[in-house]
Amino acid sequence: MARSKIRKSSKSSVMNTGRRVTLNPKLARRSFLKISAATAALTGVAMTTKLTKKAHAAGKTTPYEGSKTVRTICTYCAVGCGIEAEVHNGVWVRQEVAADHPVSRGAHCCKGAGAIDMVTSPKRMKKPMKRVNGKWKAISWDTAMTEITDKLKDIREKNGPDALHFNGSAKVSNEMAYQIRKFAAFWGSNNVDHQARI
C-alpha cells in the first residue's frame, strides 16, 4: 500500500507540480528520501521472494566447523552480482548473498539464488562421451582427446585449417576467451566466433 502511494506521489510530482507529496506531509524531505530508497531496495527483493526462500531452505545457521567463505561472481548475466560461497571439506555447501557487494548489494534474482546448482545439479556431465552406433558411451579423457585431435589433424591435412569452425563462449573468463581467440590464430583460421554476434 505504502509503495503504491509513494509511486503515485512521485509520478504526479514529476509530471505536474514538481512538488513532492509524502506519506505524511509532516515528514521532512530527508525522511522521504530514506523511505523511497528503502522502497527501491525492497522492490528488488520482492521480485525474487519466491526463490530466495528456496535458496535459503536450509536456513541461515552457524557456519560448518572449519568451513571457509569464498567471494565469487555469479555466472548468469552481466550485472556481475557477488556471491559468498561456503565451502566445507572441499564441498560447496551453502551460498549467501553478498550484502556489501557494491553493485548487487545483497540482491539476487532467482537464477543467482540457485547458482550453487551449477555444481550440485545431478544433470552435470560426469565423463567424456561419444556416440557409438547411435548410443552414448562413456570414454576416457585420453581416448576422447586422441580421437578428436587425430580427426582434427586429418581434416586440417585434407581440407585445410578453414574446415574447422570454433564457436567459443561468453561464459568463460577473460583469460579463457583470450585463449580461444589465440587458439584459432595458432590453428590457422579466422573461423571463430561467440555469442556476442547474436
- Contact (CB, 8 A) for 123 and 92: no
Q: Which stretch binds another protein (CB under 8 A): 14-22, 23-31, 58-66?
A: 14-22
193 binds another protein (CB under 8 A): yes
Residues between 116 and 135 that touch another protein (CB under 8 A): 117-119, 121-134
Q: To which residue does cell 580461444 refer?
A: 180
186 binds another protein (CB under 8 A): yes
* Nine cell digits for residue 106: 545483497
**What is the contact mask toward another protein in residues 100 to 119, using x (rule: CB under 8 A)?**
xxxxxx-xxxxxx-xx-xxx
21 binds another protein (CB under 8 A): no
- Contact (CB, 8 A) for 162 and 192: no
62 binds another protein (CB under 8 A): no
165 binds another protein (CB under 8 A): yes
Distance of CA 2 to the CA centre of its chain: 32
Q: Please, which residue, 28 or 185, has the CB nearer to another protein?
A: 185
- Contact (CB, 8 A) for 188 and 182: no
Q: Which stretch binds another protein (CB under 8 A): 22-30, 59-67, 153-161?
A: 153-161
The CB density around residue 17, as the number of other CB atoms within 10 Å, is 9
DSSP-derived secondary structure letter, 74: -
